[in-house]
Amino acid sequence: MDRIRILGLTDLHSNGQVPLDRLKKTIQQKNINLIIITGDLSTFGGKKIVKKILEAFNRLEKPILYIPGNMDQPETANIQFGNIIPVHERSQKIHNIYFIGIGGSNETPFVCPFTLTETEIQQALTTAYGSVPNGSPFILLTHAPPKDSEADRLKNGQHVGSKIIRTFIEEKRPILVLCGHIHEAQSISQINGITCINPGPAAHGNATIIDLELRETEILVANAELIHF
């Protein structure tokens, strides 16, 4: 039996700066094997600024999976080099686990560079999931949270997540969902027995650590916690 420890980040909203010293300390102290970033690396940033951010993360010398958020330009979706692996609308097998991703977000009342209709979200999920072998366990990475969950609730109680993402989770049953987008909805919750985590904005030092237990026939979420780094 093996274990993998993941550091999950979202909503950095960086102008190019990354708190590398704090991240390195967390990675070393917590024995992190894999880093996942679920969107909003920047605020309206294009390829140049997001690549600069990813170049900083690359120096952490761990595999890094990322998707863009609604505040990143669509052109940032497929930046790949070194340890940096994009997973928007695709799957990636790492540590014998399939990860699939969808960046951007469902439509919002605000002007954002990367939003998708529910139909476009459905198409993107179908594309990403299509390369996962039938019956294989997988982890879902999204920027937009699923509708009617702890991860999509505004301060006023309104739920603003994606209905299609919620339906996909209920039907395909990933072993874990990592999302972001709604800063005040930092949470670890369950959707029909599936762990769903919104780490809260990394811009304020929030993150999550997840322990995955790899058994011969299944993968389990052994532990998940919210941290401040």
Higher pLDDT, 41 or 219: 41
pLDDT bin (cut points 50, 70, 90) of residue 140 is: very high
What is the DSSP secondary structure assignment for residue 203, as one 8-state letter? G
| pLDDT tens digits, 177-191 | 999 999 999 999 999
Span 184-213, pLDDT tens digits: 999 999 999 999 999 999 999 999 999 999
pTM exceeds cut of 0.85: yes
DSSP state of 109: S
Domains held by the chain: number: 1
Give the Cα separation of 97 and 112 in Å (integer).
32
Question: CB within 8 A of 101, min separation 6: which ones?
Answer: 38, 65, 67, 86, 87, 88, 89, 90, 128, 140, 141, 142
* Contact criterion met (CB below 8 Å) for 30 and 207: no
What SS3 string covers 152-189?
Answer: HECCCCCECCEHHHHHHHHHHCCCEEECCCCHHHCEEE
**In the structure, what pLDDT confidence band is assigned to residue 69 with cuts at 50, 70 and 90?**
very high
Rounded CA gap, 25 and 162, in Å? 35
Quick one: DSSP state of residue 133?
A: P
Residue with token string 């990394």 = 202
For 84, residues 6+ apart whose C-beta sits below 8 A from its C-beta are: 54, 57, 58, 64, 66
Rounded-to-integer distance, Cα 148 and Cα 159, Å: 5
Residue 24 maps to which CATH number?
A: 3.60.21.10
Expressed as residue numbers, the domain containing 165 is 2-228
**Paired strand residues for 67:** 38
